[in-house]
Each structure stands twice: as structure tokens, then as C-alpha cells.
């Protein structure tokens, strides 16, 4: 795993290209992230995949978007430019849910901010076309995947067309893309024109002129509302989104057609998930597993995953605020134990390995297989979810395979501990009557260290219903099971729950209910996640339209800074700087009974005229829930955690 020379990396400059004996790259991959040759970075994965197919691939990472010459450093690509914004949507990377600029970028050396443009796909595509006229452009990655059709854009607060149209690229590849990009690469290398390739799963292409007019007679697809109709009628967008949800599974999906600005977009059905053998092969390509040696500072995102293992893909959890259904899909596929053990042994040889595997998981750590036998043969159900509102009768929860995998990993020489830090679906764990309790015991005994981060997201059943999450009673059952298991293994460990403020469906009364739960548990979160309307989620559709696309029911949506701030402040009710807005929220919610100095109040009353600051401080101290330290009143990572 040498980093002394760039010879093991894909070339980033002309000297590195010539050192490999190349006079030209077949593909040049442009990415908004720094180049890290690790399978958790999409650009590296696609680059290595094409390399394994015999293509010459160069990387231009974080080019200067003010000059098209920045895309000429490797010369003209023989076949195409491949463009991705990186591992995150560029707008999410740049802005908080409150619309403020972030101060750092984990995918940039030293965490420096400002090394990629807003709407990176559009900017990079324009640069590529200016740098070398006539070179085809292929879009891919998460930003392309979630903006492939008309989508609500939170940052401009309007509906936007497909990024394929706005970027003027030739084709868009969505999802995880391995099969699609491999097929496209070989076909254009054989002489096919990129714009004529229209039958590859997991792609979006466009038709213009007569082809668009004749499409209904020549192409089979389900017609979505036109962009112009959706822009003038929000419910049309909700109807469109519902159809997209019904056509998100590769086994049952039809092609979709959407007209916009006189052009017709065709979304081919999603590709089938990779088999276990294919997934193993992708993750065992010859990655250096390091950042390119040209970087002088570490890349924070690499440190997060450097000693972690990706064990699965896909998620059948169905959370409304998550876009995985439209990116990785609902069918879960796991890697083989043998492949993961080989990768773990590779980690052990790294001179910086200290004996700790930081994570073994995926979108959801304890999902390692399809939810039921039907998914293996016919895909995920169109008309129901696997876990929501209750576990499907056909669900086959099973933690036995994951338990065996973790045991094998922790028995490797030089491995001191194997952590599980990816999300755990506690409702799935509780549904496993055969192995669930044994897995929880293993988790508490071997795979956490003091804390288990968990994501109930809320406690109001009305809000949880909109989130696609199980009712609050399920989380309370898990709390009890976790506490009892730790008593059995004689460990003092805590749950650290994540909650979302101001999610569609959450009223002030719901936010107060969540604050009371935190009070009763003597827990105040250090960090609060405010709902972020990112492209491609059910919750974002609700936020924009005020309608739940699954039922077409009207949904209450917290809008405007004032109510969002109130819901957020209620989750950190004991911070002195939040006192005024918490009182305002409680009065608006009709819960003035929670203002005062009693044991069940959330915030002290305002200081009366003539009262001293010392008296006020006494009041503030008096209202603090029993068991809450001064340190936790400021909001600490541990807090007085839920047991």
C-alpha cells in the first residue's frame, strides 16, 4: 500500500499519464471531490472499474471552474468526459438547512471550503464542452441520480428541470452505475454514437424534434406530467413523484417519459443490483486506499472510512427523508464473508492500522440480505413497504449471517475491536425473534464502546407516520431491551438518539411532545438536525407540495425561519440562549404550563422587573431536570444519555 509514488494511482497530470506509457486517456473523469483511491469514493470506484475493462482513465479532481483550460491538463479524451459532483450533491455540500454557507468540506484537503462550484454538474459540463468541442459528456453520481428528472430545488425554492437538460450533457447514468457505465464504455469504444444508445438500464436520455413528437409510437414508456404543468400545479408534481416511486424497482419498473422545454426525457428502468460475486469484484479492485500523494493535507472524509468495510448495498427501510430508494434501491445485497475478510487483512497491513475496524455496514448495518424471498425473485413490492407502518408478514428478519461475519472479523489477528457505526434499524432487530436478542448482546458486548447512536428521528406518532418510521412504542421497547442487555453483560452504555426538527407533518405540539420526551429521559442533544429538503425524497415532495405523494393527503409543513427555529430550540430547551424562543413556542402551542420553575417545566419564566440576575440564575438552576449536569445543560455529546 505504498504512497511514495503516484504510479499506483490513476493519472492526474500529463507526467503521470506519460509514466504509464499513455499518449491519451480513453475517459477523463471530472469530480468535485479530491482524488482518493478508495472504494467509498465514487470517482475512484468507477475509474478502477473502467481500468479493469481495459480502458485508460484519468482523473481531474476539483478543477478551477473559472477556466476551461483546467480541463485540458490531460489532453483530449478519446471517448468521453465522465462528470460527477462527488460523493455529495454540491448544494448540500455548500449550504446548511438554514441556507448558510458551510465552513468546511470533508472531501477537500485540509477540509478547506470553496473548491467546487454550486451546481457542479452544470458548471463542469459547460467547461468540458468549451475545453474540447465534440467530446461526449456523461453525467453520474448522487447529484445526477437525484436530479435526473424534474425536482424541487430548495436553494432556489422552485422546481427545476432535469440536470441532463440544464447541463446539455449527452446522457445521464443514475444509481450505482457499474453495469451501465461498463456497457456504454464498450459500445462507444466500438464506434456507436453516445446519443444513439437508448436501451441501457439506469440511464436517462433525451429526444428532440420529430423523435420527441413520434416517441409515443416508437418508444414504450409511462407519461409523467410535463415540467411546465408541474411548475404551475404542485399537485401534478406530487402525482409525478408517486409514479416514480411505483417505478423504482428493476423487476417491475417501466420506462418513464417527461416533457420539458420542448424536449422529451426518457428514464429507462433502474438496473438490477449487482450479485454477490459482482459486488465482491468491485470492492476488490486494486485501490491504493489513500489520497493522491500530490495533496499536502489530509482529507477528512478518508479518515472516516479508511479502516471501515462496506458490507452491503440497498435499503428497504423506506424513510421518507432518505433518497436511497431512488439511488441504491430497496433490494439489499451483501458481500461475501471471504471478500470482506480479504479486505480486512489488507487493512491490517496498513502501517497506520491500530487494531480497530471502525465500521462494518452499509446504508443500514443490520441489513445483509433481501427483506423476503419474493424480493430475490420478483423485486420489492410496489404497493407496500417492508417495515412501515409495521413489519410486513412476509419479512424474513435474520441477523445470523451478520453475527457470523462480525465474529470472524474480530477473531482476525491484530484486530482489537470491530465497531458497528452504521445505522441499526431497531424495528428490524426486534422483529427477529430468533437471532435479534443474540445480535443485540453481541453488539453491546463487542461492537460499541460506551454509546450506540440510533435514529428514532421523533416520538410523535403523527410525525413518524410521515417519516415512514415505526411508532414511538417500538423505540421505547428497544430502549428497554438495550438497557436490559447491558445489565446482562455488565456494561454501562448509552443510547445517543438522533432527532429531526421541523419535518413535514410536525406541528409545534409535536415538537413540544419531543421536548418533553427529552426532558423525561434527562437528555438534551448536543446537535439537532433540522429537516433538509434535498432532491429525490418523499419528504422533500411533501415540503414543496404540501401533499404526501403516497396518499395525496394534505400535510402540514413547517415553513419560514420562525417556526423552524422554534421547533429546533425546543429540542435544546435548556440552553440559556434559547429561553426566549422556547417560551414563545410554548405559548403558541398552548403549553404555557411548561414555563416556570416546576420539575416538569422546560424553561423558566421571564425575569420580572426589579429581579436580579442572581435570582434569575437560581430560577434557571431550579428548573433543570433532575440528573442533568451543568455541562449537559450546554449540550454535550454524551449528555445524560437514554438508558
Placement of cell 470533508 in the chain: 106
* Of 316, 326, 202, the residue nearest 270 (C-alpha): 202
- The pLDDT score that the predictor gives to residue 627 is 40
Any idea what the CATH number is for the domain that residue 454 is in? 3.30.750.200
Residue 93 has pLDDT above 90, yes or no: yes
For residue 515, how far is the Cα from the chain centroid? 26
Share above pLDDT 70 across residues of the chain, in percent, rounded to a whole number: 93
Does residue 51 lie within any of the structural domains?
A: yes
Say if CB 600 and CB 609 are below 8 A apart.
Answer: no
Domain count, the chain: 2
Any idea what the CATH number is for the domain that residue 112 is in? 3.40.50.280
Say how many Å lie between the first and final Cα of the chain, rounded.
42
Burial of 627 from C-beta contacts in 10 A (0-12 / 13-18 / 19+): exposed
Say if CB 90 and CB 119 are below 8 A apart.
Answer: yes
Last residue of a domain, one of 202, 237, 272: 202
Each residue's pLDDT tens digit, 42-85? 999 999 999 999 999 999 999 999 999 999 999 999 999 999 99
Q: Band of the pLDDT at 609, cuts 50, 70, 90?
A: low
Q: Please report which residue ranges of 415-549 form alpha helices under DSSP H.
A: 426-431, 436-442, 461-467, 472-488, 508-520, 538-545
Q: Which residues pair with 497 in a beta bridge?
A: 454
Say if CB 147 and CB 219 are below 8 A apart.
Answer: no
Give the number of other Cβ atoms within 10 Å of residue 304's Cβ.
14
- The pLDDT score that the predictor gives to residue 527 is 82
Q: Which residues pair with 595 in a beta bridge?
A: 603
Each residue's pLDDT tens digit, 195-225? 999 999 999 999 999 999 999 888 999 999 9
> Can you tell me the distance from the alpha carbon of 577 to that of 569, in angstroms, rounded to the nearest whole number?
9
- The pLDDT score that the predictor gives to residue 216 is 86
* Of 88, 128, 124, the residue nearest 108 (C-alpha): 88
- The three-point CA angle 213-216-222 to 5° equals 125
> Can you tell me the distance from the alpha carbon of 323 to that of 326, in angstroms, rounded to the nearest whole number?
6
Residue 278 has pLDDT above 80, yes or no: yes
Q: Band of the pLDDT at 642, cuts 50, 70, 90?
A: very low
- The pLDDT score that the predictor gives to residue 619 is 42
Give the number of other Cβ atoms within 10 Å of residue 88's Cβ.
21
Q: Please report which residue ranges of 95-131 form alpha helices under DSSP H.
A: 120-131
Say if CB 161 and CB 260 are below 8 A apart.
Answer: yes
State the cell numbers at 167: 447541463
Q: Band of the pLDDT at 641, cuts 50, 70, 90?
A: very low
Listed in sequence order, the residues at least 6 apart from 551 whose beta carbon sits closer than 8 Å to its beta carbon are: none
Does residue 281 lie within any of the structural domains?
A: no
Does residue 276 lie within any of the structural domains?
A: no
Say if CB 109 and CB 299 are below 8 A apart.
Answer: yes
Say if CB 536 and CB 163 are below 8 A apart.
Answer: no
Last residue of a domain, one of 177, 202, 227: 202
Q: Which residues pair with 548 in a beta bridge?
A: 553
> Can you tell me the distance from the alpha carbon of 150 to that of 155, in angstroms, rounded to the nearest whole number?
15
State the cell numbers at 110: 485540509
- The pLDDT score that the predictor gives to residue 4 is 43
Each residue's pLDDT tens digit, 390-417? 999 999 999 999 999 999 999 999 999 9
- The mean pLDDT value for 99-106 works out to 95
> Can you tell me the distance from the alpha carbon of 40 to that of 49, in angstroms, rounded to the nearest whole number?
13
Placement of cell 421497547 in the chain: 477
Instruction: Enter the pTM of the model.
Output: 0.92
Calculate helix-pair angle for 579-588, 560-571, nearest 10 degrees: 110
- Using DSSP's 3-state secondary structure scheme, residue 315 falls into coil
Reported as type and span, the H/E element at residue 234 is helix 234-246
Listed in sequence order, the residues at least 6 apart from 610 whose beta carbon sits closer than 8 Å to its beta carbon are: none
Does residue 406 lie within any of the structural domains?
A: no
Pairing state between β 359-361 and 308-310: parallel
Q: Band of the pLDDT at 588, cuts 50, 70, 90?
A: very high
Does residue 70 lie within any of the structural domains?
A: yes
Does residue 587 lie within any of the structural domains?
A: yes
Does residue 364 lie within any of the structural domains?
A: no
Up-side HSE of residue 173: CA atoms within 13 Å toward CB? Answer: 25
Q: Give the CA-trace dihedral at 361, 364, 369, 374, to 10 degrees.
A: -170
Does residue 617 lie within any of the structural domains?
A: yes
Q: Which domain holds residue 145?
A: 6-202
> Can you tell me the distance from the alpha carbon of 247 to that of 130, in angstroms, rounded to the nearest whole number?
36
> Can you tell me the distance from the alpha carbon of 531 to that of 97, in angstroms, rounded to the nearest whole number?
7
Say if CB 427 and CB 386 are below 8 A apart.
Answer: no
Listed in sequence order, the residues at least 6 apart from 197 whose beta carbon sits closer than 8 Å to its beta carbon are: 171, 184, 187, 188, 203, 205
Residue 140 has pLDDT above 70, yes or no: yes
Each residue's pLDDT tens digit, 217-257? 889 999 999 999 999 999 999 999 999 999 999 999 999 99
SS3 string, 520-571, reads HCCCCCCCCEECCCCCCCHHHHHHHHCEECCCCEECCCCCHHHHHHHHHHHH
State the cell numbers at 228: 411546465
Each residue's pLDDT tens digit, 418-436? 999 998 999 999 999 999 9
Say if CB 189 and CB 54 are below 8 A apart.
Answer: no
Each residue's pLDDT tens digit, 334-352? 999 999 999 999 999 999 9
- The pLDDT score that the predictor gives to residue 7 is 54
Residue 612 has pLDDT above 90, yes or no: no
Residue 2 has pLDDT above 50, yes or no: no
Tell me the torsion sign for CA atoms 476, 479, 483, 485: positive
- The mean pLDDT value for 592-601 works out to 94
- The mean pLDDT value for 363-377 works out to 94
- The pLDDT score that the predictor gives to residue 560 is 85
- The pLDDT score that the predictor gives to residue 188 is 98
Residue 161 has pLDDT above 50, yes or no: yes
- Using DSSP's 3-state secondary structure scheme, residue 393 falls into coil
Last residue of a domain, one of 153, 179, 202: 202
- The pLDDT score that the predictor gives to residue 526 is 85
State the cell numbers at 192: 456507436
State the cell numbers at 408: 470472524
- The three-point CA angle 295-89-290 to 5° equals 25
Q: Band of the pLDDT at 127, cuts 50, 70, 90?
A: very high
Pairing state between β 203-207 and 171-173: antiparallel
* Of 364, 361, 370, the residue nearest 395 (C-alpha): 370
> Can you tell me the distance from the alpha carbon of 66 to that of 75, in angstroms, rounded to the nearest whole number?
18
Amino acid at each position: 500500500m505504498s504512497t511514495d509514488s503516484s504510479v499506483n494511482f490513476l493519472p492526474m497530470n500529463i507526467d503521470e499519464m506519460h509514466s504509464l506509457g499513455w499518449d491519451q486517456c480513453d475517459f477523463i473523469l471530472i469530480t468535485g471531490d479530491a482524488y482518493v483511491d478508495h472504494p467509498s469514493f465514487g470517482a475512484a470506484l468507477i475509474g478502477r472499474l473502467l481500468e479493469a475493462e481495459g480502458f485508460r482513465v484519468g482523473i481531474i479532481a476539483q478543477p478551477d471552474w473559472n477556466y476551461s483550460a483546467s480541463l485540458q491538463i490531460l489532453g483530449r479524451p478519446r471517448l468521453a468526459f465522465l462528470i460527477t459532483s462527488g460523493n455529495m450533491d454540491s448544494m448540500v455540500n455548500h449550504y446548511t438547512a438554514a441556507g448558510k454557507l458551510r465552513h468546511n468540506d470533508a472531501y477537500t484537503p485540509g477540509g478547506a471550503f470553496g473548491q467546487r462550484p454550486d451546481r457542479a454538474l452544470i458548471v463542469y459540463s459547460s467547461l468540458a464542452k468549451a475545453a474540447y468541442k465534440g467530446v461526449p459528456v456523461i453525467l453520474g453520481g448522487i447529484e445526477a441520480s437525484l436530479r435526473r428528472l424534474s425536482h424541487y430545488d430548495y436553494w432556489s425554492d422552485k422546481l427545476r428541470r432535469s440536470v441532463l437538460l440544464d447541463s446539455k450533457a449527452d446522457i445521464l447514468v443514475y444509481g450505482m452505475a457499474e453495469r451501465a457505465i461498463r456497457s456504454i464504455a464498450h459500445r462507444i469504444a466500438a464506434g456507436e454514437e453516445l446519443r444513439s444508445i437508448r436501451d441501457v438500464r439506469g440511464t436517462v436520455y433525451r429526444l428532440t424534434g420529430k423523435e420527441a413528437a413520434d416517441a409515443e409510437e416508437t418508444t414504450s414508456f409511462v407519461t409523467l406530467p410535463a415540467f411546465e404543468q408541474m411548475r404551475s400545479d404542485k399537485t401534478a408534481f406530487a402525482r409525478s413523484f408517486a409514479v416514480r416511486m411505483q417505478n423504482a424497482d428493476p423487476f417491475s419498473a417501466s420506462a418513464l417519459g417527461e416533457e420539458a422545454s420542448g424536449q422529451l426525457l426518457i428514464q429507462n428502468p433502474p438496473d438490477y443490483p449487482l450479485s454477490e460475486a459482482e459486488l465482491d469484484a468491485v470492492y476488490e479492485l486494486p485501490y491504493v486506499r489513500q489520497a493522491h500523494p500530490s495533496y499536502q493535507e489530509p482529507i477528512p472524509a478518508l479518515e472516516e472510512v479508511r479502516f471501515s468495510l462496506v458490507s452491503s448495498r440497498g435499503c428497504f427501510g423506506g424513510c421518507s427523508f432518505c433518497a436511497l430508494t431512488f439511488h441504491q434501491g430497496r433490494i439489499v445485497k451483501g458481500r461475501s464473508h471471504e471478500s470482506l475478510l480479504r479486505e480486512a487483512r489488507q487493512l491490517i497491513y496498513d502501517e497506520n492500522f491500530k487494531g480497530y475496524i471502525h465500521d462494518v455496514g452499509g446504508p443500514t448495518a443490520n441489513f445483509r440480505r433481501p427483506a423476503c424471498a419474493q424480493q430475490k425473485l420478483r423485486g420489492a413490492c410496489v404497493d407496500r413497504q417492508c417495515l412501515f407502518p409495521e413489519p410486513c408478514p412476509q419479512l424474513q428478519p435474520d441477523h445470523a449471517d451478520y453475527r457470523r461475519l462480525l465474529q470472524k472479523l474480530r477473531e482476525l489477528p491484530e484486530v482489537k475491536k470491530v465497531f458497528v457505526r452504521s445505522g441499526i434499524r431497531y424495528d428490524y432487530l426486534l422483529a427477529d425473534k430468533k437471532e435479534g436478542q443474540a445480535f443485540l448482546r453481541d453488539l453491546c458486548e463487542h461492537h460499541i464502546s460506551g454509546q450506540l447512536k440510533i435514529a428514532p428521528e421523533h416520538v410523535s406518532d403523527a410525525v413518524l407516520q410521515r417519516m415512514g418510521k415505526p411508532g414511538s412504542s417500538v423505540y421505547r421497547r428497544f430502549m428497554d431491551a438495550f438497557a436490559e442487555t447491558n445489565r446482562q453483560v455488565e456494561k454501562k452504555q448509552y443510547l445517543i438518539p438522533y432527532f429531526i426538527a421541523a419535518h413535514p407533518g410536525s406541528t409545534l405540539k409535536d415538537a413540544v411532545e419531543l421536548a418533553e420526551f427529552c426532558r423525561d429521559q434527562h437528555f438534551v442533544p448536543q446537535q439537532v438536525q433540522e429537516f433538509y429538503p434535498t432532491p429525490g425524497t418523499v419528504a422533500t415532495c411533501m415540503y414543496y407540495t404540501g401533499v404526501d405523494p403516497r396518499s395525496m393527503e394534505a400535510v402540514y409543513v413547517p415553513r419560514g425561519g420562525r417556526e423552524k427555529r422554534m421547533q429546533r430550540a425546543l429540542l435544546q430547551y435548556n440552553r440559556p440562549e434559547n429561553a426566549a424562543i422556547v417560551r414563545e413556542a410554548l405559548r403558541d402551542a398552548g403549553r404555557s404550563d411548561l414555563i416556570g420553575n416546576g420539575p416538569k417545566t422546560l424553561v423558566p419564566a421571564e425575569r420580572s422587573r426589579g429581579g436580579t440576575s442572581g435570582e434569575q440564575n437560581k430560577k434557571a438552576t431550579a428548573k433543570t431536570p433532575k440528573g442533568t449536569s451543568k455541562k449537559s445543560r450546554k449540550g454535550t455529546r454524551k449528555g445524560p444519555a437514554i438508558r
